[in-house]
């Protein structure tokens, strides 16, 4: 909105209004998108938390969780609404809404957020039940992923769509591998994987949202340079016109995550619930796909990959050998049962995610 009002309508290089040329620049709008969503979090957060408490929208503690989590049943959940609202308002104010990548990220966020909302609602309404039936949840996620990827392909020029049929290899001199139509199922899988991986990571106060901050920062930088012709050519990464506008969206995600962490840090005043975690994971996956970093996102979101893999390995091991690899999965609960305090697990996992973030950004120079 601000881009169209202040730059398109009011900007003039020959008047005092020349100041409005700043609204043309993605860096300027990204910084203020982050600050806007952060400020909105402090305004909207207490209001939403108060409403959730009043409506008794409280966390449902599943069986088998470490005993230290029993008191969390009195903490309100579905706080992801705060994050989504702050991102949406900030993006509507600061981003260009004629950009297909921004529009698809908005759709991804709202649609996966809706699935998460339904899941949370069913858990709260029917105490003790597991919410939305897993196969229905997965089906919804796959359908949303398919809509996003097919819309992307149909909206691109033939020359641009050819880029998406390649798989770009970070760190190596081998620039890309042609994968053709395999791009479609691979992209859908990545979106669904990260949507669920962030959901699995969201088991300790501030663990998931704190990690999102570092992942969002890495993706903000990567989306900006991918859509900047000179930077992309210098760094030998694929140039995809228009993707730099996603930096505004991801900066808004960064600010909203920082604001939510204010309330979600240990001991948490609110949990994000599936409405937040499913949406945020989907955003990370979609953004990486749009800039052709399907491999690098494994490192960018390394902590989510580890958390999800721990669950997969635990299930496979128990079904085949009737033995558990970890004391409990996801792996953050394993370390709790090993005697680590909750804050120690959280901070150490944040440190690991920071390391992953730095390694992923190093790919811009290592080739």
Per-residue pLDDT of the chain (367 residues; tens, 9 = 90+): 887 887 666 666 666 667 777 888 999 999 999 999 999 999 999 999 999 999 988 877 666 567 667 667 789 999 999 999 999 999 999 999 999 999 999 999 999 999 999 999 998 887 656 788 899 999 999 999 999 999 999 998 777 788 999 999 998 876 789 999 999 999 999 999 999 999 999 989 999 999 999 999 999 999 999 999 999 999 989 999 999 999 999 999 999 999 999 999 999 999 999 999 999 999 999 999 999 999 999 999 999 999 999 999 999 999 999 899 999 989 999 999 999 999 999 999 999 999 999 999 999 988 7
* Residue 13 counted as domain residue: no
β-bridge mates for residue 58, sequence order: 76
Contact criterion met (CB below 8 Å) for 181 and 167: no
* Residue 21 counted as domain residue: no
Helix, coil or strand: residue 60: coil
pLDDT attached to residue 162 = 85
* Residue 329 counted as domain residue: yes
Which residues contact residue 194 at a Cβ distance below 8 angstroms, ignoring those fewer than 6 apart? 281, 282, 284, 285, 297, 301, 304
* Residue 3 counted as domain residue: no
Residue range of the domain that includes 250: 28-362
Q: How far is CA 272 from CA 17, 97, 129, 206, 224, in A?
A: 42, 27, 19, 9, 28
Whether the CA torsion 36, 40, 42, 45 is positive or negative: it is negative
Contact criterion met (CB below 8 Å) for 211 and 234: no
* Residue 167 counted as domain residue: yes
Q: State how far the Cα of 264 lies from the Cα of 277, in Å rounded to an integer.
A: 13
pLDDT attached to residue 10 = 65
* Residue 7 counted as domain residue: no
Q: How many residues does the chain have?
A: 367
* Residue 223 counted as domain residue: yes
Contact criterion met (CB below 8 Å) for 249 and 88: no
Backbone phi, psi, residue 168, to 5°:
-85, 135
The two tokens of residue 355 are 């390391």
pLDDT attached to residue 14 = 65
pLDDT attached to residue 196 = 96
What's the structural domain count of the chain? 1
Please name which of 281, 282, 259, 263 lies closest in space to residue 271, comparing C-alpha atoms: 263
The two tokens of residue 65 are 């969780």
């Amino acid at each position: 909105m601000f881009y169209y009002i202040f730059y398109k309508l009011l900007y003039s290089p020959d008047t005092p209004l020349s100041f409005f040329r700043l609204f043309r620049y993605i860096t300027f709008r990204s910084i203020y998108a982050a600050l806007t969503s952060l400020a909105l979090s402090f305004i909207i957060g207490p209001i939403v938390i108060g409403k959730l408490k009043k409506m008794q929208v409280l966390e449902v503690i599943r069986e088998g969780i470490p005993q230290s989590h029993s008191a969390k049943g009195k903490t309100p959940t579905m706080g992801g609404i705060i994050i989504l609202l702050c991102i949406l308002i900030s993006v509507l104010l600061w981003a260009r809404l004629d950009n297909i990548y921004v529009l698809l990220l908005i759709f991804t966020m709202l649609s996966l957020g809706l699935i998460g909302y339904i899941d949370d609602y069913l858990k709260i309404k029917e105490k003790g039940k597991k919410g939305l039936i897993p196969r229905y949840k997965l089906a919804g996620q796959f359908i949303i992923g398919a809509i996003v990827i097919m819309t992307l392909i149909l909206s691109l020029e033939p020359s641009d769509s050819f880029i998406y049929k390649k798989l770009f290899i970070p760190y190596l001199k081998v620039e890309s591998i042609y994968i053709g139509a395999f791009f479609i199922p691979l992209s859908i899988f990545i979106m669904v994987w990260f949507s669920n991986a962030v959901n699995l990571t969201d088991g300790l106060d501030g663990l998931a949202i704190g990690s999102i901050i570092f992942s969002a920062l890495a993706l903000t930088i990567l989306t900006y340079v991918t859509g900047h012709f000179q930077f992309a050519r210098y760094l030998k990464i694929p140039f995809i016109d228009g993707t730099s506008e996603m930096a505004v969206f991801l900066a808004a995600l960064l600010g909203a995550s920082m604001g939510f962490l204010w309330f979600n840090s240990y001991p948490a005043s609110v949990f994000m619930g599936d409405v937040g975690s499913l949406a945020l994971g989907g955003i990370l996956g979609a953004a990486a796909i749009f800039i052709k970093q399907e491999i690098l996102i494994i490192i960018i979101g390394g902590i989510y990959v580890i958390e999800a893999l721990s669950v997969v390995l635990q299930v496979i091991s128990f079904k085949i050998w009737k033995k558990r690899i970890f004391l409990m999965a996801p792996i953050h609960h394993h370390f709790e049962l090993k005697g680590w305090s909750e804050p120690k697990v959280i901070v150490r996992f944040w440190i690991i995610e920071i390391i992953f973030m730095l390694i992923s950004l190093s790919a811009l120079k290592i080739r």
